[in-house]
């Protein structure tokens, strides 16, 4: 399995999973970057994590161009889906089993996909961060972070945005430690060279992510509100 990072908009990543010459596209907010990468190779499936336009905006064009592409996503993306998914279910694609995890908070029905210790988490988890809680259901997002923390340390996480540097700048101010400082230096160097900082790992996030490290819901909310103003 190979994971390809395709840049979209100013800071989005469209992840393309490559398995034995076949492709699964994750959160295509734009179609053109997918076309540029795949050229005449049709993807087998599209996986959606949530409903926001920068994650679903390219779906219809991709399906129109390639035809027989199956779209999977949560109930909130039902207008695009061939099959709607919810947490606790499994999806079999290209000989692999994708576990579906409910990860609400950013949106009501946000889901993530785990396959071969690779986590496609949309906007639920970022390097040293998490998505804005547009639902205002902070308890749901806090529980989502606890779900991520319960995964194996070796799991690689593939968030959908390049927010690593700004997240670490926030963390350096509010919850610094040696691991955060070391990660900040790594990320700063990569961004200065216009290189991707992802994926991250669950083990790393347990050390540097203030939202995973929050001791309780009150601390989580305090940090999330502070980040919203940062």
Q: Convert the pLDDT of each residue in 5-18 to its tens digit.
A: 999 999 999 999 99
Average pLDDT over all residues of the chain? 98
Q: For tokens 């319960």, name the residue.
A: 150
pLDDT over 70, % of the chain: 100
What pLDDT does 162 receive? 98
What pLDDT does 138 receive? 98
Residue range 196-206: mean pLDDT, rounded: 98
What pLDDT does 143 receive? 98
- Residue environment code for 181-220, b if the CB has 16+ CB neighbours within 10 A, otherwise e: eebbeebeebbeeeeebbbbbbebbebbbbbbbbeeeeeb
* Burial status of residue 122 (CB atoms within 10 A of its CB: 0-12, 13-18, 19 or more): buried
Residue 62's pLDDT band (cuts 50, 70, 90): very high
Residue range 58-72: mean pLDDT, rounded: 96
Angle in degrees, CA 146, 147, 151, rounded to 5: 110
Instruction: Compute, in degrees rounded to 10, the torsion defined by CA atoms 218, 219, 223, 226.
Output: 60
Structural domains in the chain, sorted by start: 2-229 (3.60.15.10)
- Residue environment code for 16-27, b if the CB has 16+ CB neighbours within 10 A, otherwise e: bbbbeeebbbbb
Residue 223 in tokens:
């940090």
Residue 82's pLDDT band (cuts 50, 70, 90): very high
What pLDDT does 91 receive? 97
CB 187 within 8 A of CB 165: yes
What pLDDT does 216 receive? 98
Could you tell me where the DSSP H helices lie in 39-77?
A: 53-56, 59-66
Q: Convert the pLDDT of each residue in 209-225 to its tens digit.
A: 999 999 999 999 999 99
Residue 181's pLDDT band (cuts 50, 70, 90): very high
What pLDDT does 58 receive? 98
Q: For tokens 């350096």, name the residue.
A: 172
């Amino acid at each position: 399995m190979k994971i390809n990072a395709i840049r979209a908009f100013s800071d989005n990543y469209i992840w393309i999973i490559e398995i034995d010459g076949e492709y699964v596209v994750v959160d295509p907010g734009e179609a053109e970057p997918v076309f540029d990468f795949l050229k005449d190779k049709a993807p087998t499936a599209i996986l959606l994590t949530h409903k926001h336009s920068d994650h679903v905006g390219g779906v219809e064009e991709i399906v129109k161009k390639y035809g027989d592409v199956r779209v999977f996503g949560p109930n909130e993306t039902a207008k695009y889906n061939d099959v709607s998914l919810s947490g606790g279910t499994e999806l079999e694609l290209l000989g692999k089993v994708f576990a579906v995890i409910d990860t609400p908070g950013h949106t009501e029905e946000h889901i993530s996909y785990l396959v071969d210790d690779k986590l496609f988490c949309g906007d639920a988890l970022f390097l040293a961060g998490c998505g804005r809680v547009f639902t205002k259901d902070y308890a749901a997002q806090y529980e989502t972070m606890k779900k991520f923390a319960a995964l194996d340390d070796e799991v690689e996480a593939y968030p959908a945005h390049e927010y690593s540097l700004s997240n670490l700048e926030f963390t350096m101010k509010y919850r610094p430690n040696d691991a955060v400082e070391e990660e900040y230096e790594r990320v700063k160097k990569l961004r200065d060279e216009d290189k991707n900082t992802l994926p991250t790992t669950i083990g790393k996030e347990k050390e540097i992510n203030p939202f995973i490290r929050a001791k309780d819901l009150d601390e989580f909310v305090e940090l999330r509100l502070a980040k919203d103003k940062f």
